């Protein structure tokens, strides 16, 4: 099968498990991840596949999510149990392996950490995290224009900006913080602060 045929099939499979809006978002992330992969010189195919699959567990009922976590022996934190939408990244990584035959650990990991991030991410992980936030269909987050531009200039600085705004949003009372999101914020804030001192 040619790469393009493979993408066609994968897109169809993903489309079938999503709402129309989620599929539009998914294509936006695929396209944006490919563009960032070109900018930062990493494998474009991997970025596209990770972008295409990053939300493959998003459109599942919370109860079914929890059932599948039991089935696949996925351990959940208390924060995840209280906020089941957070589970779609962990579960999506397992679906990518089991339901979409992905065996590339870099792709799996980019899906796994696309919501919270984690300290010291790989380029592919950062690209999916950022593409998810800046894809053309997004319009609600503050500072999008600046963050979109920065994503193609200095990806660690863009990570800091996204995490800063996410933590601000959560601290306004919009949601309970996952420890990993906060640790990721501190990691990229330190890189940002060091640049300011220089
Ligand atoms: O699945 P998407 O909507 O495309 O994007 P996503 O997987 O990044 O999820 C986005 C939401 O996740 C966004 O509203 C911010 C939220 N989020 C990120 N970190 C945390 C969080 N929400 C909570 N409650 N706690 C977190 O630590
Ligand atoms: Fe997501
Ligand atoms: Fe997403």
123 domain residue, yes or no: yes
Q: What is the overall mean pLDDT for the chain?
A: 97
Residues, Cβ < 5 Å to ion ligand 2:
55
Which pTM does this prediction carry? 0.97
**CATH number of the domain encompassing residue 73:** 1.10.3210.10
Domain that holds residue 102: 3-139
**Gap from CA of 153 to ligand 3 centroid (Å):** 22
The predicted structure's pLDDT at residue 197 = 82
The verdict on the CB of residue 35 being under 6 Å from ligand 1 is no
Interatomic CA distance for residues 57 and 18, integer angstroms: 9
User: Is 174 a domain residue?
Assistant: no
144 within domain boundaries: no
CA atoms within 13 A on the CB side of 198: 6
CB 77 within 8 A of CB 17: no
Structure tokens at 170: 């959560």
pLDDT of residue 185: 98
The pLDDT of residue 2 is 77
Tens-digit pLDDT profile for residues 29-78:
999 999 999 999 999 999 999 999 999 999 999 999 999 999 999 999 99
Q: How do residues 141-156 score in pLDDT, each as one tens digit?
A: 999 999 999 999 999 9
């Amino acid at each position: 099968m040619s790469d393009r045929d493979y993408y066609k099939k994968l897109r169809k499979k993903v489309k079938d498990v999503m709402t129309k809006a989620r599929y539009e978002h998914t294509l936006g992330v695929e396209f944006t991840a490919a563009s960032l992969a070109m900018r930062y010189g990493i494998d474009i195919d991997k970025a596209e596949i990770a972008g295409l699959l990053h939300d493959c567990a998003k459109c599942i009922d919370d109860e079914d999510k929890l059932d599948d976590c039991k089935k696949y022996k996925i351990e959940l934190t208390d924060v995840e149990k209280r906020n089941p939408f957070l589970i779609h990244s962990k579960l999506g990584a397992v679906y990518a392996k089991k339901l979409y035959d992905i065996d590339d650990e870099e792709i799996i990991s980019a899906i796994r950490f696309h919501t919270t991030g984690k300290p010291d991410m790989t380029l592919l992980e950062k690209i999916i995290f950022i593409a998810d936030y800046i894809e053309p269909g997004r319009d609600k987050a503050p500072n999008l224009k600046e963050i979109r531009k920065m994503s193609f200039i200095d990806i660690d600085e863009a990570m800091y900006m996204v995490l800063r705004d996410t933590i601000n949003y959560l601290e306004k009372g919009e949601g309970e913080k996952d420890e990993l999101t906060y640790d990721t914020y501190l990691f990229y804030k330190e890189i940002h602060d060091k640049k300011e001192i220089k």
